């Protein structure tokens, strides 16, 4: 059965936190700027402008490393309430066109405009109008991707950044996806990408000859996703009622971590990344539980958690020790996360 074509827009504001700061202080424009924690307190970069990216600064990078790469870097602490105010303005603009809006974070969202009537139902014109309204109302730029599904729209929104628009028409899907690096596929991290490359698979076109059973044998459940996405297939709907229940960070290691001390040594960078994601999601005030996840070398998984309302490195160390003692064997994956209160539908905008 052929599914009806959808018109999906993915909107993503350009270096959101930094753009808000430059909007409010024009003297910052043209100068390398990062928003995040202090370099002398093991802070990380929440976001940075394009002038900073020119020096190799990027999100989730330790701020101390960012300063080494860019000695003239201007560092500002996050102003979350200011960012939430801008986010609410942007969300209101989206909802003028469709009720099917799925926020992913404070600065990005999916929109299903398949039934929209504005601009004669043209998703491209709607995306152009949204970007113009964000610029006029909020004072920052946004990029957008238009495509028949969420996967392609997300990829397309990054195509012409900053302040860009890219459209993937239904008849263009096959050619567009074929040339994509496999590292751009959902679920493909560094370890999986390295495995694919070792098998001679670098672009999606290299995946097409592989059968679904073969991909499942080599990659488990991920094999089904690889089979679908390399063909540009994504049947996920835009869920307007989507509410994030947790925020987490995971790392799969090329070499198993042999003991508890090695695992504990890997904890600080994971917590730095979790802190950045929590801030980006605007979830700091909704933390209900803290948890640690371990996948051991035998692929057995265990999770340890406790009630907590703030990120606490000492608590995470205790949770990690508790979880490790359950099997006391090498570890292939570590994860840290938070679980959120149920009463966050209005404020919490999720994280992709």
Q: Could you give the 3-state DSSP secondary structure of residue 258?
A: coil
- Residue 243 has a pLDDT of 59
CB 329 within 8 A of CB 298: yes
Q: Is the dihedral of CA 139, 145, 149, 152 positive or negative?
A: negative
Quick one: pLDDT at residue 1?
A: 42
Per-residue confidence (pLDDT) for residue 96, from 0 to 100: 92
Is there a binding annotation on residue 107?
yes
CATH class as words, domain 246-340: alpha beta
Q: Which residues contact 11 (CB under 8 A, 6 or more apart)?
A: 90, 94, 108, 109, 111, 127, 130, 131, 134, 142, 143, 144, 157
Counting beta carbons within 10 angstroms of the beta carbon of residue 91, is it exposed (0 to 12), middle (13 to 18) or buried (19 or more)?
middle
Residue 144's nearest CA partner among 134, 133, 158, 132 is 158
Which DSSP category does 2 fall into? P
Phi, psi angles (nearest 5°) of residue 174: -60, -50
Is 12 assigned a ligand-binding role in the annotation? Answer: yes
Structure pTM?
0.70
The predicted pLDDT at position 241 comes to: 57
Q: Report the DSSP beta bridge partners of residue 146.
A: 9, 167
SS3 of 43, please? coil
Catalytic entry in 108, 203, 266, 346: 108
Nearest CA among 186, 209, 197, 212 for reference residue 104: 186
Give me the residue spans of the domains in the chain: 1-168, 177-229, 246-340
DSSP-derived pairing of the beta strands 142-147 and 165-167: parallel
Question: Is 108 considered catalytic here?
Answer: yes
pLDDT averaged per 10 residues in sequence order, the chain, 352 residues: 78 95 96 91 86 93 92 93 91 92 91 94 96 96 97 95 95 95 89 92 96 93 93 92 74 88 94 86 84 90 92 94 95 92 41 28
For residue 148, what pLDDT is reported? 97
pLDDT value of residue 106: 86
Residue 105 near residue 90 (C-beta atoms within 8 A): no
147: left (phi over 0), alpha (psi -120 to 50) or beta: beta
CATH architecture assignment, domain 1-168: 2-Layer Sandwich (3.30)
Closest to 267 (Cα-Cα) out of 331, 318, 312, 316: 316
Is the sign of the CA dihedral 32, 34, 38, 43 positive or negative?
negative
In words, the CATH class of domain 177-229 is mainly alpha
Pairing of strands 33-36, 74-76: parallel
């Amino acid at each position: 059965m052929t599914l009806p074509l959808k018109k999906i827009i993915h909107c993503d504001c350009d270096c959101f936190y930094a753009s808000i700061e430059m909007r409010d202080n024009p003297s910052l424009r043209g100068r390398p700027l990062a928003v995040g924690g202090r370099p002398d307190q093991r802070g990380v970069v929440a976001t940075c402008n394009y002038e900073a990216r020119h020096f190799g600064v990027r999100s989730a990078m330790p701020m101390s490393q960012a300063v080494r790469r860019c000695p003239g870097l201007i560092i500002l602490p996050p102003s979350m309430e200011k960012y939430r105010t801008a986010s609410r303005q942007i969300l209101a603009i989206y909802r003028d066109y469709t009720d099917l809006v799925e926020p992913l974070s404070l600065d990005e969202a999916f929109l299903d405009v398949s039934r929209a009537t504005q601009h004669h139902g043209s998703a491209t014109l709607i995306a152009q109008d949204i970007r113009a309204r964000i610029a006029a109302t909020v004072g920052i730029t946004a990029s957008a991707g238009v495509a028949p599904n969420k996967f392609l729209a997300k990829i397309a929104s990054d195509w012409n950044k900053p302040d860009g628009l890219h459209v993937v028409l239904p008849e263009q899907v096959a050619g567009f996806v074929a040339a994509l690096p496999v590292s751009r596929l959902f679920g493909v991290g560094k370890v999986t990408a390295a495995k694919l490359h070792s098998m001679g698979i670098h672009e999606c076109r290299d995946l097409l000859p592989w059968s679904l059973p073969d991909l499942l044998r080599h990659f488990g459940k991920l094999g089904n996703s690889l089979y679908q996405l390399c063909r540009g297939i994504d049947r996920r709907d835009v869920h307007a009622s989507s509410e994030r229940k947790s925020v987490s960070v995971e790392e799969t290691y090329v070499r198993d971590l042999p003991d508890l001390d090695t695992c504990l040594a890997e904890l600080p960078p994971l917590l730095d990344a979790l802190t950045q994601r929590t801030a980006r999601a605007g979830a700091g005030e909704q933390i209900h539980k803290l948890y640690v996840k371990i996948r051991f070398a035998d692929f057995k998984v265990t999770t340890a958690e406790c009630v907590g309302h703030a990120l606490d490195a000492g608590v995470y160390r205790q949770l990690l020790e508790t979880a490790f003692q359950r099997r006391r064997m090498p570890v292939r994956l570590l994860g840290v996360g938070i679980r959120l209160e149920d009463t966050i539908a209005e404020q919490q905008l999720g994280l992709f």
